[in-house]
Structure 1
Amino acid sequence: MFENRGDPPPFQQDFVKNVKHHFKQEGEAWLERLPEIIKQCEQIWQLEMKEPYVLSINYVAPAVRIDGRKLVVKLSIPGEDFAYELEALRHLESPAIVQLIDFDEKLGALLLERIEPGVTLAEVEEEDKACRIAADVFEQLIREPLGETALPTTEDREASLAKIIADYPKGCGPISQSVLLEAQRTFHRLHSTRKKQWVLHGDFHHYNVLQSGEKEWKAIDPKGLIGEREYDLVQYLLNKLPEENPVSVIDQRIKIFTDILKLDKQRLVLWGFCHSVLATCWTVEEDGNYHRPFFQTIAAFRQIHQNNYRRDIDEAKIR
């Protein structure tokens, strides 16, 4: 069943393009090794990998083990990102996150439970219902750090913005220098007033929360991050928004999250402003294209802060 199956089918074109774009020569070399890595995983774990899901920069495919158990194999380029995800899965282990069955660091391979039916939270049409489900998963998920950790921190995100400012002194894409500096100042003020840090998911949004069984939901694909809980909800706020005027949707999501999770609303809004600036910068291409929905949220967080606290971001009285 698991021997002499030949090479896997040709890889998805967008997957190949994305890997080469993100990882350059390292990505090309990994793609060449990938058929052999797939065969090794099948042999080591005694399973058969099926047709992969729609891929981005990792190879993820359903698999069936020799005992009939349905699983998922996720293959990544070995390195920091793989190590961070592995550590995050260990730290955040709970009924609210996909179960790690086994791993092989040299191969960059994770063996995971298969979550079924596996529909994403993005498919829940009712906005408030989806947000409450997300809050329930999040509440079970986040943990206090257990001793030393190599995971990146929100200070690293601030440093990433500082590098962008140094590299693009006149502004980055649609974002002016003054807004970049305002976000940097806000990052610094939030870090200087921080009270407690947590192990965060690092990429918590609609498409990384899957339905498990009839009523349960689980998070997948943690990046791993150390910081305040409020920061970890920002990526959810940036996703699945209306094309125009996202203010009311973001504001309602913030209200639900802060009410259920007992979080600091102002800090969530300010983290949202900082991260929306950084997230937009990350999407700016050499030809000037950028992700407009992220860019729109910069003004949205500014307006939400003004509406709630009657002050601009730079004048915020941060507790």
Structure 2
Amino acid sequence: MDIPERLAWLRASSEGRSWLEGLPARINRCVGRWNLSLGGPFPTAYTSLTIPGRRLDGTEVVLKIPFPGRESEHEALALSHWDGDGAVKLLEDDRSLGAFLIERCVPGTPLSNTGQDVALDVLSSLLPRLWKPATDPPFRSLADEASWWASHLRENWERAGRPFDKRLVDAALDVLGSLPGSQGEPVLLHQDLHGDNVLAAQREPWLAIDPKPLVGEREFGLAPVVRSFELGVGRNEVRHRLDRLASELGLDRERARLWCVAQTVAWYSPWHIEIATWLLDM
């Protein structure tokens, strides 16, 4: 089986190379463990190997083998917690294999294909379903994650050659120091709920995939949607996503804005950083 080229970045570290080299044997073990017939892997996954397949009874599934990391650590647990309510169902989980099975979304069209306002209609209904009561442990708290981001944010910015304005670093650090201690009710958060992580399905019209779960206040849950350039690129589009979701969901717009600035800077990507700059003045 050919490994998708988008996983090539893992070859830069010894841990990544070891994980990639072990994939063929791990896939074979999963096939035997769950009696799978597999197709070719999805080409778009960046931090995991995801492969469509079928079980002996004909059930369509996806085998997911995430590269071990902080964000993927509790993914299967989050899917289990949601139990199919607004997200794909977890069908099997074997921690010794570092792999799990989920239901397959068919046809699997991403929500981003619908246009921004239709997508926001869906997300306005989906987000409250995902915001189920949860605790840390077993999940990691938003407060802990904010502290971890803050501990290396400036160093990472320096090491990357100062790729964006220092005022974004200062603003993010201010948020990460001030907001965690004054949060509202803790719920389970999907911190990567962008327009390509909600797919068209048959059991429900739309289901969330690929959670990177945290436990924290609801306002943080708007960050990935506001930042989702898949739903529309531009200052007005970003403002519209923030204003509409904060209003419809009864959330504190200012806290949602600040959390989006902080997470976008902490998760630095050249495609997103301009959005954080716009948000500073919204």
- SS in structure 2 at match of 1:213: coil
Task: Report the CA distance shift for 1:137/1:183 in structure 2 as closer, same or farther (over 3 A).
Answer: same
Q: 1:265 aligns with which of 253, 260, 275?
A: 253
Kept after mapping to 1: 8 A contact 2:88/2:102: yes
Q: Distance in 2 between matches of 1:278 and 1:84?
A: 20
Q: TM-score, normalised by structure 2?
A: 0.90
Q: Residue 98 of structure 1 is aligned with which of 72, 88, 110?
A: 88
Partner SS state of residue 27, structure 1:
helix
1:296 and 2:274 are equivalent in the alignment: yes
- Whether 2:242 is the aligned partner of 1:254: answer yes
Query: Which amino acid in the other structure matches residue 11 of structure 1?
Result: I
SS of equivalent residue, structure 1 residue 53: coil
1:68-147 alignment to 2 at 5 Å?
A: 68-78=58-68, 80-125=70-115, 127-146=116-135
3-state SS of the aligned residue for 2:179? helix
Which SS does the other structure have where 2:265 is aligned?
helix
Counterpart residue identity of residue 196, structure 2 = Y
Shift of 1:93: 2.5
Q: Is the contact between residue 73 and residue 110 of structure 1 (CA under 8 Å) also seen in structure 2?
A: yes
**How far does residue 270 in structure 1 lie from its aligned partner after superposition?**
1.5
Is the deviation greater in 262-271 or in 179-188? 179-188
More moved, 169-178 vs 97-106: 169-178
Partner in structure 2 of residue 316 of structure 1: none
**DSSP-derived class of the 1:233 partner:** helix
Matched with 2:153 is 164
For 1:217-236, what aligned pairs fall within 5 Å after superposition? Answer: 217-236=206-225
Larger Rg: 1
Structure 2 distance, partners of 1:76, 1:276, is: 22
CA spacing shift, 1:190–1:26, aligned 2, 3 Å: same
1:49 aligns with 2:71: no
For residues 13 and 30 of structure 1, what CA distance do their matches in structure 2 show? 15
The Cα shift of 1:166 comes to 4.3
The amino acid across from 2:9 in the alignment is: N
User: Is 1:274 aligned to 2:270, yes or no?
Assistant: no
Equivalent in the alignment of 1:311: none
AA of the residue aligned to 2:22: R
Taking structure 1 as the reference length, what is the TM-score of the superposition? 0.80
Identity of aligned residues (%): 25
Aligned residues of 2:51 and 2:64 also touching (Cα < 8 A): yes
Aligned to 1:180, what secondary structure does the other structure show? helix
**Other-structure match for 1:313:** none
Alignment of 1:196 with 2:191, yes or no, is no
Displacement, 1:205? Answer: 0.8
In 1, the alpha carbon distance for the partners of 2:128 and 2:63 equals: 27
Post-superposition shift, 1:68? 1.1
Residue 124 of structure 1 deviates from its aligned partner by 0.8
Aligned equivalents of 2:184 and 2:107: distance in 1? 39
Question: For residue 20 of structure 1, what is the aligned residue in structure 2?
Answer: 11
**C-alpha deviations, 1:130-171, integer Å up to 9, x for none?**
111112111211111157324242442343233122455699
Aligned length: 281
Question: Over residues 173-228 of structure 1, what are the superposed CA-to-partner deviations in whole Å (9 max), with x where a residue is unaligned?
Answer: 23344431232112222223223222111211111101113962110011111221
- 8 A Cα contact 2:66 2:98, kept in partner: yes
Q: Which residue of 2 aligns with 1:10?
A: 2
Once superposed, what is the RMSD of the aligned Cα atoms? 2.4
Secondary structure (helix, strand or coil) at the match of 1:196 reads coil
Task: Provide the rounded CA distance (Å) in 1 between the counterparts of 2:148 and 2:76.
Answer: 24
Tell me the residue number matched to 1:310: none
**Offset of 1:260 from its aligned partner?**
2.1
- 8 Å CA contact 2:135, 2:215 repeated in 1: no
* 1:173–1:243 Cα change, 3 Å: farther
The 1:251/1:73 distance shift into structure 2, 3 A limit, reads same
